[in-house]
Structure formats: C-alpha cells, structure tokens
Amino acid sequence: DVKVTQSSRYLVKRTGEKVFLECVQDMDHENMFWYRQDPGLGLRLIYFSYDVKMKEKGDIPEGYSVSREKKERFSLILESASTNQTSMYLCASSFSGRYLNTEAFFGQGTRLTVV
Amino acid sequence: SQQGEEDPQALSIQEGENATMNCSYKTSINNLQWYRQNSGRGLVHLILIRSNEREKHSGRLRVTLDTSKKSSSLLITASRAADTASYFCATDAGSDKLIFGTGTRLQVFP
C-alpha cells in the first residue's frame, strides 16, 4: 500500500516560532504537494514540487517555504508562525503525468494551532 | 486563484436516494479527479476522467465531464449512510499541479 506519512497529527506552536511540517512518501512519486484546509475554503495549494529541489508556488505561498532535498521527503516551513496559519495541513504525492496515472495519495493531516 | 467550485456546498438525502454533485473549474485540463474525505482525515481518490472522455463509471459512481462548459458531475447511486463525507473535485490545470475545489458535504440519513 502507498503510504504518505506526516510527522505530527496535532501541533501547538507559539506566534513567531519557526515551524517544520514533514511529509514522507514511500512510492517513489515525483510529485509532492502541501495544502491547507479551512472550513468553507476547501483545499488550497501552498506549494508543489515535481522533482528533487524543484518547486512551484501554489495559490497561497505567502508566509511559507518548502524544502525537497530527497525524493521521498517534502517539508513545509512556516518561517514565523502567525495565528492566521492555524489550520489543517495536508500533504500528498503522485506520479508524474507522463505515467498517465496521476492519482494523489494523502497523508492523515496535521492540525496546527498557533497561539 | 485557480480553485474550482463544487455545488451544492451541502447536501442531505435519505439512504437509497441518489446524490449528485457538480464541479466547475477555470482552466484547460488533462484530467479531472474526484476525492472523498471522511471527517478530519486525509482524502481518498475515487475516480479519474480524462479530458477526452465524457462519462465514466466505477461501482455506484458515475462521473461526467463537459470540457466546453468546464464542468463535471459526480453521481452516487443508491446512497448509503457510509457515503456520508465531503467530496472534492480536482483538476490538473494542464500540468501536474493538482487544484482542488471547495467541496460538497454529503449527509446520508439512515
């Protein structure tokens, strides 16, 4: 079974802290994604990575950065956490579109609270 | 924003009834996918339809795609209480970048 693992299920951080959310996939997928999910807003793409060290901004990249040093690991970094970044964060991975099967597999999510 | 929209935002039906959800998107696509999310959990892939397909079936699911209207619909036939979840469409915006809509919350009453 494909597995996408997020390092924490729940996190509580203080305003101004630097926060790292880690995601690991075991299917050798090229693509990895970070989304945040808020009530009524659905899933909004923060960053997308299509290869090691390659990334593209999504719809809401402000206040976030990402790192992909290895193919299986994609990290989301909140440089200075703020209360408006309190949210559910979802990581996903998929094969490249050239393989035609671009089904995405999701982790269980990290519910981050910034106080 | 490239985000699409699902309609309705919420839907309540009785077991045995059919549930129809609609999705509108903004850009050209290679394919469109539907996902399901049980409360507070990650999303699970349901079905993928390619831009050159008009209809696809998988068990009790039927998906249609109209690229001229940039819209898709998901039909769940003979709904069960276990179908209660949120449903999202996702498009690839012509690349590998996966853009989700706002979702439809489906409640199926026994």
B102 vs A42: CB contact, 8 Å cut-off? yes
Going by C-beta distance under 8 Å and a sequence separation of 6 or more, which residues neighbour residue A39? none
B49 to chain A, closest Cα gap in Å = 11
* pLDDT per position as a tens digit, A35-71: 999 988 899 999 999 999 999 999 999 999 999 999 9
Give residue A41's domain range.
4-97+105-114
Among B33, B97, B101, select the one facing A48 at the smallest CB separation: B97
Kindly calculate the radius of gyration of chain B based on its CA atoms and give it in whole angstroms: 13
Q: How far apart are alpha carbons B35 and B48 in whole angstroms? A: 9
A45 vs B97: CB contact, 8 Å cut-off? yes
Residue B1 binned pLDDT confidence (cut-offs 50, 70, 90): low
Residue B2: per-residue pLDDT:
64
Residue B31 is part of a domain; what is its CATH number? 2.60.40.10
Going by C-beta distance under 8 Å and a sequence separation of 6 or more, which residues neighbour residue B97? A45, A48, A56, A58
Residue B41: per-residue pLDDT:
82
Among A56, A97, A107, select the one facing B92 at the smallest CB separation: A97
B64 to chain A, closest Cα gap in Å = 18
Residue A24 is part of a domain; what is its CATH number? 2.60.40.10
Q: How far apart are alpha carbons B110 and B107 in whole angstroms? A: 10
Residue B5: per-residue pLDDT:
83
Query: Which residue has 């696809």 as its token pair?
Result: B56
Give residue B32's domain range.
5-109
Tally of domains within chain A? 1
Going by C-beta distance under 8 Å and a sequence separation of 6 or more, which residues neighbour residue B60? B76, B77, B78
Q: Please provide the average confidence, as pLDDT, over all residues in chain A.
A: 94
B3 vs A105: CB contact, 8 Å cut-off? no
Return the SS3 of A103. coil
Identify the closest residue of chain A to B95 by CA–CA distance: A97
Tally of domains within chain B? 1
Residue A2: per-residue pLDDT:
67
Residue B40 binned pLDDT confidence (cut-offs 50, 70, 90): confident
Residue A99: per-residue pLDDT:
62
**Would you state the structure tokens that stand for residue A6, as one six-digit string?**
């997020």
